Structure 1
Amino acid sequence: MSDAERPDDGEQSLISHLIELRARLLKAVAAVLLVLLALLPFANKLYGWLALPLIQHLPQGGTMIATEVASPFLTPLKLAFFVALFIAIPVVLYQLWAFVAPGLYRHEKRLAVPILVSSVLLFYIGCAFAYFLVLPAVFTFMTAVAPAGVAVMPDIGHYLSFVLMLFLAFGLCFEVPVVLVILVALGVVTPTQLAEGRRYAIVGSFVIAAVLTPPDVLSQTMLAVPMCLLYEVGIFGARALMRGDSSGQPSATN
């Protein structure tokens, strides 16, 4: 009788997990929507703040334009959504963590929490770095190389897409230390191998920067150099992880 009930028990367990996953996803979506509702009255101000690095470097009399009929309404709304998602990321990750945490071992939980926190902070730092340092440098270069007689009047929709792409590129590239620590924790590489591959990492950083950034040396360097520095931070973190393991971390059977 117990053998016959086992498939039903497994099915009920699967259903309960799906119900919990649905509840976690609804909470994450609700968090994003609540932040979005709070930001909607300030959507135009948010866009003005986002466009500030460009507006400050436009030539005398230069301005932004909207080439589509609905752009003046949809573009700030789109920005408000992405800002809401940006702000609600900790809540979204917490819901994901609350769903997977019961299935993790104790030492895995101790490792996962710092990784989640550091990944969020590094992503935020990468976006801030792009906004405060990279965007002014890029627009200074772009407006300086504009041919004579060409009026620089960027479209608001294209500008938003460009900035979001740059934020995503810098945010993800700043995750280098987290990726290295995860690779070491999984046993894919060792800190010694990472240190020996430093020269390849430097070349790879400049290649990635050349692909992800606008075609100017300054912005490419401003992405590649932090990636190289963060690679060293990742090696340091991986070595600290290995020292912690060798000093008596609990095994997977705990």
Structure 2
Amino acid sequence: MVQEKEMSFLDHLEELRWHLVRSVVAILVVAIALFSFIGIVYEDFLLAHLKPDFITYRLFCDFFTYFGMESSFCNVNLDNNLIAIKVTQQLMDSIWTSFILGLIISFPYILWEMWRFISPGLHETELKKSRGFIFIASFLFFLGVLFSYFVIAPVSINFLYNYQITPLIENQFTMDSHVGLVTNMLLGVSIMFELPVIIYFLSKIGLVTPQFLKRYRKHALVVVLILAAIITPPDVASQVIVAIPVLVLYEISIKVSQRVYKRQEKNANK
């Protein structure tokens, strides 16, 4: 009997290993494809915020102009001469960036592999109620990617590139600092946008209740601001821009937790 359980546990680990292997292979395939077009990826995606005609700058300019307000977004002039200070920096940076972007693009497939591993242990009713998990989680993730790329990144880059303590100090930015800033924001914000999904599962296993979330709403505000400060540049505007949608998602998470809690109470009373 003990041997049977041990084999069953080992088989379970073996299955998990293959799910992880397939996820890593998917990331690597996408990363290799991106690396094949790395010049286009950098010029048209990662360095696009350095172009004065980037769509966010034009929209912000039109918005402020409409209300008769002056805006720096109407005269964006960023120094796009990034430098590489190490011999291997461009090669290593392009490899690492391809991997990070491969991870982001492969996110729905990774979720699907996780779901394939978890779903056999769920009851039929739980499977029916969780059918939209991959879609909702992927939607929130890519919503975070779009928000960070089109809102947070251009605002942060415009601020940081124009910030200068004194004219005696010249800004000379390295390519890895710029690309790292963009990719960190893409990953960090998109993970923060997964908050309702995380709260759903925590509520399902009883670690979080609606009352707990309501009671510690003010504490959550502080935590969100701290996280926003970590994943964004050190300017107040970027932190507030990140904090607002995450706080909205926190309120949505409370509703999600309430729904889970009511369902569990209903099932318990049957």
State the TM bucket, normalised to the shorter chain: 0.7 to 0.9
Structure 1, 67-76 or 185-194: larger mean CA deviation: 185-194
Which letter does structure 2 place at the counterpart of 1:44? G
The TM-score, its normalising length taken from structure 1, stands at 0.83
Of 36-45 and 146-155, deviating more is: 146-155
Q: Is the 8 A contact 1:180 1:234 kept in 2?
A: yes
1:36 corresponds to which residue? 31
Q: CA deviation at 1:22?
A: 3.2
Q: Distance in 2 between matches of 1:88 and 1:237?
A: 26
More deviation in 178-187 or 211-220?
178-187
Kindly report which structure 2 residues correspond to 1:139-158, keeping only aligned pairs within 5 A, or say none.
139-146=157-164, 147-158=166-177
- The answer to whether the 8 Å contact 1:59/1:152 transfers is no
2:38 & 2:268 partners in 1: Cα distance? 49
Write the distance in 2 (CA, Å) between the matches of 1:113 and 1:198: 30
Structure 2 distance, partners of 1:182, 1:24, is: 21
Equivalent position amino acid for 2:151 in 1:
L
Query: Structure 1 residue 204: deviation in Å?
Result: 2.9
* Other-structure match for 2:59: none
1:107 and 1:250 in contact (8 A); partners too: no
Question: Does structure 1 retain, via aligned residues, the 8 Å contact 2:224–2:246?
Answer: yes
Q: CA offsets, 1:21-53, max 9 Å, x none?
A: 333233222222222232222112112211111
TM-score between both structures, scaled by the size of structure 2: 0.78
The equivalent residue for 1:3 is: none
- Does the CA contact (< 8 Å) of 1:62 and 1:152 recur in 2? no
1:123 aligns with 2:141: yes
1:20 to 15, 20, 27: 15
SS at match of 1:154: coil
Whether the 8 Å CA contact 1:55–1:63 is kept in 2: the answer is: no
Task: Please state if 1:207 is matched with 2:226.
Answer: yes
Identity %: 28
Structure 2 contact 195–253 (Cα < 8 Å) conserved: yes
How far the C-alpha of 1:222 sits from its partner, in A, is 0.8
1:172 correspondence with 2:168: no
Q: 2:79–2:161: 8 Å Cα contact kept in structure 1? A: no
SS of the residue corresponding to residue 63 of structure 1 reads: coil
The answer as to 2:127 corresponding to 1:109 is yes
CA drift at 1:134: 0.6
1:71 aligns with 2:89: yes
Counterpart mapping for 1:161-200 below 5 A: 161-200=180-219
